[in-house]
């Protein structure tokens, strides 16, 4: 992570506070941009540690869940997209690697091929596990919303945008955490766990809420183990233009615990002041 003593001018986009928050861990740099017109506290970047993958510091997956066999391993020799009998494929991805029908994302878990499958690594049913490929930047949105994320390129509808990563903890520990802002529930096998992105995570941690989001969260599995971790993966639900902010719907449960109104200003806002 490159953090200079003085922010560098980056034209109309703002002043560069950090050249690459990911420190080379993504395919693209993830800059953090300040704005002279918006006063947003950069203190979060003093303690936040970037991780493109789930941080399982307590070895939850290794010690509590079997590492052998998924029950969905395929023996395909092609791309799996052309294999009608592929045991893994949920048949949501097109040959361009995008979701052909975004309305199916929230209906069921998307299964990708795993390392125990016979198919090639460039199999068309391996999308989210390969990581994001559309560059984004973190920017100072305003004093109320804090930081936000916007696209550095045009993103087509149905594209994988990123995985919500963070520290994997059990529900008991999640209940003890004083700040529940960045908690996201997930599942391993039949048990629920929590991803906490306050201290560890990637750029998805900084995505703001909207009641009319352009990105939605889908459950995706690809780990080669019997009790698979459900990864929280973000996909665009419409075309996103260069410079447009990425937004997701935090959900009713998140807002019930908060004591402030929504600031999305969309026509269908559910949590108006």
DSSP annotation string for 140-195: EEETTTEEEEEESS-B-TT-EEEE---EEEEHHHHHH-S--TTEEEEEETTEEEEE
Tokens encoding 110: 């998307």
Asked if residue 114 lies in contact with residue 223, where contact means CB atoms within 8 angstroms, the answer is yes
Would you call 66 helix, strand, or coil by DSSP?
Answer: coil
Tokens encoding 261: 């109104």
Distance separating alpha carbons of residues 94 and 100, to the nearest angstrom = 6
Tokens encoding 100: 């052909």
What is the structure's pLDDT at 252?
78
Asked if residue 92 lies in contact with residue 106, where contact means CB atoms within 8 angstroms, the answer is no
What is the structure's pLDDT at 146?
92
Please report, in tens digits, the pLDDT of each residue of the chain (273 residues total): 444 434 455 556 779 999 999 999 999 999 999 988 888 999 999 999 999 999 999 888 876 655 555 566 888 887 787 656 788 888 899 889 999 888 888 788 999 999 889 888 889 999 999 999 999 999 999 888 899 999 999 999 999 999 999 999 999 999 999 998 999 999 988 899 999 999 999 999 999 999 999 999 999 999 877 678 999 999 999 999 999 999 999 887 777 777 778 888 888 888 877
Beta bridge partners of 216: 235
What is the structure's pLDDT at 91?
86
Distance separating alpha carbons of residues 43 and 21, to the nearest angstrom = 14
| Helix, strand, coil content of the chain in percent (nearest 5) | 10, 30, 60
Q: Are strands 208-209 and 215-221 parallel, antiparallel or unpaired?
A: unpaired
Residues 6+ apart with CB under 8 A from 234: 160, 161, 162, 163, 164, 204, 207, 215, 216, 217, 218, 246, 248
- Residue the block writes with tokens 């003593």: 5
Q: Is 1 exposed, middle or buried (0-12, 13-18, 19+ CB in 10 A)?
A: middle
> What is the strand order of the sheet 231-236 is part of?
110-111, 215-221, 231-236, 160-163
Question: What is the value of pTM for the model shown?
Answer: 0.90
């Amino acid at each position: 992570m490159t953090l200079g003593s003085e922010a560098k001018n980056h034209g109309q986009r703002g002043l560069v506070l950090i050249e690459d928050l990911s420190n080379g861990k993504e395919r693209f740099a993830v800059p953090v941009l300040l704005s002279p017109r918006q006063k947003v506290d950069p203190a979060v970047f003093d303690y936040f540690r970037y991780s493109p993958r789930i941080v399982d510091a307590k070895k939850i997956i290794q010690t509590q869940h079997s590492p052998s066999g998924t029950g969905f391993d395929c023996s395909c020799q092609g791309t799996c997209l052309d294999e009608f009998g592929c045991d893994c494929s949920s048949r949501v991805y097109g040959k361009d690697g995008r979701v052909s029908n975004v309305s199916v994302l929230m209906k069921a878990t998307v299964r990708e091929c795993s390392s125990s499958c016979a198919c090639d690594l460039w199999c068309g049913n391996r999308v989210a596990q390969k990581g994001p490929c559309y560059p984004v930047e973190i920017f100072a949105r305003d004093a109320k919303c804090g930081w936000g994320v916007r696209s550095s390129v045009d993103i087509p509808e149905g594209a994988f945008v990123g995985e919500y990563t963070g520290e994997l903890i059990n529900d008991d520990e999640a209940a003890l955490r004083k700040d529940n802002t960045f908690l996201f529930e997930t599942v391993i096998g039949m048990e629920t766990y929590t991803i906490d992105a306050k201290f560890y995570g990637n750029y998805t941690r900084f995505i703001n809420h909207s009641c009319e989001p352009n990105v939605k969260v889908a459950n995706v599995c690809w780990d080669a183990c019997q009790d698979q971790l459900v990864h929280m993966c973000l996909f665009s639900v419409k075309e996103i233009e260069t410079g447009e902010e990425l937004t997701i719907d935090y959900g009713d449960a998140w807002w019930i615990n908060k004591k402030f109104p929504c600031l999305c200003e969309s026509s269908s806002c559910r949590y108006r002041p």
